[in-house]
Amino acid sequence: MKHNNVSPGWNWWSMMRTKNVECRYDWERGFAIVELMVTLVIAAILIAAVYRLYQSTQSGYLAQNQLTELQQNARIGIDTMIREIRLAGYQAYCDPVTANAAMFEFEADTDLSGKPERIIYKLNAANKQLLRASSGDLASSIGCSSYDATATSNNLYQSVASNVTSLNFAYYDTNNGPPSDPSKVRRITINLTVSAVKAEQGGATRSVQITSDVMLRNEGLKK
């Protein structure tokens, strides 16, 4: 009988080497084009979803921040007017001089110095600014005609609030009707609108409108 001289250990070693080579070849083969494309598509979808979420969150934050700034700007403007207009007529030489929808001009001792100031509030529509002018303390009367031209020529107007797109004064007498002249004004409704500089996505421009009533407590108590 003829015996096989090949040892069992050699066969085992040869089989293991063959398997290792096959495994190595499978690993070195890498990804197929189809697998790579599927992976890229899934990655692109995930990146797009994350970006949309970030963009939505960012837009919401910016919109809320813009609204807060508008509200603060509008509140500063109207609170400044209310505080001084409420004192109109106190220690004054004249009744309200100008009382129209676009401008209110009056005298009041706002700093409690014993001397009134001539104060004007109006809107600069071109620059979208709420303007205030003051004559400073008046030792004597400057007459009861409008001080607007003098304040303009002397650069006395200062900005109280910016991005103001609308300012409207409405006047009422003691019977809540329209006054026959500025000296009869006892209540004023102020309507102030502040708008954003830039429009939001979609073309809409955010704006804030504040309306407030002011009682002229000291009117009729001139010097």
For the chain, what are the domain ranges? 73-215
Give the per-residue pLDDT at 62: 66
Comparing 43 with 28, the larger pLDDT belongs to 43
Where does residue 202 fall: left (phi above 0), alpha (psi -120 to 50 degrees), or beta otherwise? left
32-56: average pLDDT: 82
Which string of b and e fits 37-65 if b means at least 16 CB within 10 Å?
eeeeeeeeeeeeeeeeeeeeeeeeeeeee
**Above pLDDT 90, what percent of the chain?**
49
**For the chain, what is the mean pLDDT?**
82
Q: What's the N-to-C CA distance of the chain in angstroms?
A: 145
Residue-level pLDDT at 57: 72
d(C-alpha 192, C-alpha 161), whole Å = 10
Kindly report which listed range (42-46, 77-81, 82-86, 163-167) carries the lowest average pLDDT score: 42-46
Which of 16-25, 61-70, 131-140, 204-213 is the least confident region? 16-25
Residue 163 carries which DSSP code? S
Higher local confidence (pLDDT), 101 or 67: 101
* Residue 104 clears pLDDT 70, i.e. is over it: yes
Instruction: Give pLDDT, residue 30.
Output: 56
**Number of neighbours of residue 152 by Cβ within 10 angstroms:** 13
pLDDT of residue 29: 56
Give the separation between CA 135 and CA 107, rounded to whole angstroms: 10
Is residue 130 within 8 Å of 104, Cβ to Cβ?
no
Determine the residue type at 38.
Answer: V
Burial (Cβ within 10 Å: 0-12, 13-18, ≥19) of residue 134: middle
Alpha helices, H only, the chain: 8-29, 33-85, 148-153
Q: Measured between alpha carbons, how far is 133 from 117 in angstroms, rounded to an integer? A: 10
What is the band of 63 on the pLDDT scale with cuts at 50, 70, 90?
A: low
**What's the confidence (pLDDT) of residue 218?**
78
| CA–CA distance, 1 with 99 (Å, rounded to integer) | 133
Contacts of 76-81 with CB under 8 Å at 24 or more apart are 76/160, 76/161, 77/130, 77/160, 77/161, 77/164, 77/192, 77/194, 78/190, 78/192, 78/210, 78/212, 80/132, 80/160, 80/161, 81/121, 81/130, 81/160, 81/190, 81/214
Question: pLDDT value at position 13?
Answer: 47
pLDDT of 68:
79
pLDDT, residue 85, reads 94
Does residue 192 register a pLDDT over 50?
yes
Residue 27: what pLDDT?
47
Task: Give the mean pLDDT of 94-103.
Answer: 92
Tell me what percent of the residues of the chain surpass a pLDDT of 70.
77
Burial class (CB in 10 A: 0-12, 13-18, 19+), 108: buried
What's the pLDDT band for 17 if we cut at 50, 70, 90?
A: low
Which of 41-50, 149-158, 172-181 shows the highest mean pLDDT? 149-158
